[in-house]
Amino acid sequence: MTRRQPRPTLRLRTGSDQMELREFFSEDAIKLDVEGDTKDDVLKELIGLLKLDEKSEGMLYKMLKRRENLGSTGIGRGIAIPHCRSLVVSKLRVAFGRKPHGMDFKAIDEKPVHFFFLIVAPPLEVSNQYLPVLGKIAQFSKEPDVPQRLLALTEPGQFLELLKEKGV
């Protein structure tokens, strides 16, 4: 009886192990004093940081609103990660917003949300970075000192430095 040799497993490397979160952020897409007082206003403000045309902003808002209606992206510890896939972007885009006094975002722990990480990717993203970026943000958010450090930021460049310091 001859034994069949197992087929080699095909593994795709996306480079996400080497990916650094700060590569996706620019100072223009970081706002340390989010003004909106409602979930809708905050989503619109975050979308505005991506500098899209008005029609694209409207479409993206509808997609994010639909995603939020499925369940809040408030993951707890004062953090929300609104995210979706949309045709309005040709590559993965991210933004960060901070609301120092927090707001009700229907987070799973029912606590106010202070920090917002917006992630938008095209539906057929070849680079396959959407989920790794989402995972890196979640990992970064779990660091015990991160909420306090994010509250202490005084300028957008410090946010990028914090990402670098944390190695994400």
Q: Which tokens is 11 given?
A: 């593994």
Q: Which tokens is 164 given?
A: 């670098």
Model confidence band, residue 1 (pLDDT cutoffs 50, 70, 90): low
At position 3, the amino acid (one-letter code) is R
Q: What is the pLDDT of residues 95-122, one digit of tens each?
A: 999 999 999 999 999 999 999 999 999 9
**What are the structural domains, with CATH classification, of the chain?**
25-162 (3.40.930.10)
At position 111, the amino acid (one-letter code) is K
Report the predicted TM-score, pTM, of the whole model to 2 decimal places.
0.88
